[in-house]
Amino acid sequence: MQPDAIDYRILEHLQKHGRSSAKAVSEVVNLSPRAALARIRALEAHGHLRGYHAELDRAVLGAHVAVFAEVALKDQRQTTVRLFERHVAACPEVIACHLVSGRFDYLVRFCCRDLAHYQALTDAWLDQPALGIEKIVTSTELKTVKEFAGFPLFTIADRMG
């Protein structure tokens, strides 16, 4: 399924307003509620829309520290990479992890109670030789200027032109 301009408008709306009803979506894209719901279901079925999430206010939730860690592995053997990635995926304090090019292999974003919690966590990682970590370079978040708010969506016409 190749999304069309209406599908992109639906995705853009749901990305900002995930709790919208099919009726509300239908009003945005000028379709009947039934037609809007059918398109939403098709977008879900084809993997274009994978889920709905709530945006939490970290400041209201209490004290925490956000940390970015550049992680270099000792080698790039698939067994090492898979083990490291499984370990990262299972760690609740890891809120994002990206394989990157450059001096480091991964950029990992953590959310921890405090720096002592982060240090204990990464010390435990370094103490596990099977993870294959060569080094971790840490940068502490001082202020979030712009948080992830969704992907920019481009219509088919935008991509062709």
Q: What is the pLDDT of residue 160?
A: 46
Q: Which domains, from first to last, does the chain contain?
A: 5-54 (1.10.10.10), 58-140 (3.30.70.920)
- pTM beyond 0.95: the answer is no
User: How confident is the model over 26-44, as pLDDT tens digits?
Assistant: 999 999 999 999 999 999 9
Dihedral of CA atoms 85, 90, 65, 130 in degrees, nearest 10, equals: -50
